[in-house]
């Protein structure tokens, strides 16, 4: 869960999110180095009175400042493509859960538990308990196991939505008439929050997502949903 004046990303709860955090730091370091080099060159150009006529026609220098950015782009693109394919990979899921977006709530269907279906609405402020998060708490949380591959099948019944939980590294569009899928493996229990990340109408800000991750042994004992 994010906290006030937080500058970095949320703590990772899945291998994909851990890779995303590492790539973020990798790309940020490259940006810092490039920015420092450019600022140094600008300051040196503006403050020194020395000139060198060879700089105006130096093929070696032109070759370096053409090849060096290309190498930097490759060093950024290769890990980015690796994470992209890793996030899109779906292999032998242990559980499948379907999420359907509506204006403005979510419907969850546990296909492995006899088609258990329930809706998840945002809790109004009058129904919040002490410690609950305003605009983020729901009446029915989606309960998911940890240490097991879970496939989320996501669609919409009306307009475009987006099922997003930052701590898990998940962001999948819910498109009417189309069934998208994503897969994750959570690494630690807890309650994790997300929101619809696609502008879907007047109440777009009022359809949060709350995932309660519990140990696999407890999940396998049977549905523990607070309906």
* 38 and 140 assigned to the same domain: no
Residue numbers of the chain with a pLDDT score lower than 70: 1, 50-58, 222-227
Give the strand pairing for 105-110 and 116-120. antiparallel
CA separation for the pair 141, 99 (Å, rounded): 12
The verdict on 82 and 113 lying in the same domain is no
Both 156 and 53 in a single domain? no
* Domain, as residue range, for 189: 95-221
Is residue 59 domain-shared with residue 167, that is, in the same domain?
no
Indicate whether 30 belongs to any domain. Answer: yes
CATH number at residue 203: 2.60.40.420
Q: Are residues 136 and 190 in the same domain?
A: yes
CA 32 to each of CA 28, 39, 65, 73, 80: distance values in angstroms, whole numbers, following the listed order: 6, 10, 17, 14, 18
* pLDDT at residue 172 in the model: 92
Q: Which of 45, 64, 88 is the last residue of a domain?
A: 88
Q: Is the dihedral of CA 227, 116, 211, 220 positive or negative?
A: positive
Task: Look at residues 38, 72, 88 and tell me which one is the last residue of a structural domain.
Answer: 88
Number of domains in the chain: 2
Rounded to an integer, what distance in angstroms lies between the CA atom of residue 160 and that of residue 191? 25
Question: Do 20 and 70 belong to one domain?
Answer: yes
The phi, psi pair for 86, rounded to 5°, reads: -65, -40
Residue where a domain terminates, one of 63, 88, 113? 88
């Amino acid at each position: 869960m994010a906290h006030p004046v937080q500058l970095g990303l949320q703590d990772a709860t899945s291998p994909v999110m851990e890779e995303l955090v590492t790539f973020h730091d990798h790309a940020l370091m490259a940006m810092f180095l490039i920015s420092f080099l450019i600022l140094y060159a600008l300051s040196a150009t503006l403050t020194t009175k020395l000139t060198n006529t060879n700089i105006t026609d130096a093929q070696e220098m032109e070759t370096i400042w053409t090849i060096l950015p290309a190498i930097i782009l490759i060093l950024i693109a290769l890990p980015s493509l690796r994470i992209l394919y890793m996030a899109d990979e779906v292999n032998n899921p242990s559980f499948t859960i379907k999420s359907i977006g509506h204006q403005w709530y979510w419907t969850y269907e546990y296909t492995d538990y006899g088609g258990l279906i329930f809706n998840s609405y945002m809790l109004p402020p009058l129904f919040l308990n002490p410690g609950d998060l305003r605009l983020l708490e729901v009446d029915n949380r989606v309960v998911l196991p940890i240490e097991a591959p879970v496939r989320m099948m996501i669609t919409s019944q009306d307009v475009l939505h987006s099922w997003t939980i930052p701590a898990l590294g998940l962001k999948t569009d819910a498109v009417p008439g189309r069934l998208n899928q994503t897969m994750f493996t959570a690494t630690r229990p807890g309650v994790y929050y997300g929101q619809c990340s696609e502008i879907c109408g007047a109440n777009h800000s009022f359809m949060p997502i709350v995932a309660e991750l519990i140990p696999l042994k407890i999940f396998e004992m049977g549905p523990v949903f607070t309906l």
